[in-house]
Amino acid sequence: MLDVNMAWSAALSLIVGILTFVAKEKFAELARISILLNKTREEVVLIPSMEERKLSKPEKKKLKGLEKKVQKKSFTDQYGKDKGEEVYYATLTKQAKGEK
């Protein structure tokens, strides 16, 4: 009976030891990934924003025409007042430039 208890205790100790080792490795990997993510976020903030090119005169005319054709209301209804205006002008500007 004593040998069975000792074998059972040894087996449980081995399993607990392996699980502890695996958990420690996973937490270390999680900490490493968290540090990398924070560094990446900091680097993204430091990247200068891209400058958008100015519209040419024909593109400005096309933009004015698009403003008359496309209603802003559908964008503001879908995205809300502030975000809707941003999306509206971004979409029309992209169309005026002939970009997809």
Closest CA to 98 of 53, 68, 47: 53
Query: In terms of domains, do 8 and 41 share one?
Result: yes
For residue 74, what are the domain limits? 57-97
Mean pLDDT in consecutive groups of 10 residues from the start of the chain, 100 residues: 86 95 95 90 71 86 91 90 90 85
Contacts of 60 (CB under 8 A, 6+ apart): 96
Query: In terms of domains, do 43 and 63 share one?
Result: no
Q: From the CA atom positions of the chain, what is the Rg in Å?
A: 30
Question: What's the whole-model pTM score?
Answer: 0.48
State the total domains in the chain: 2
pLDDT tens for residues 34-57?
999 988 887 777 666 667 788 899
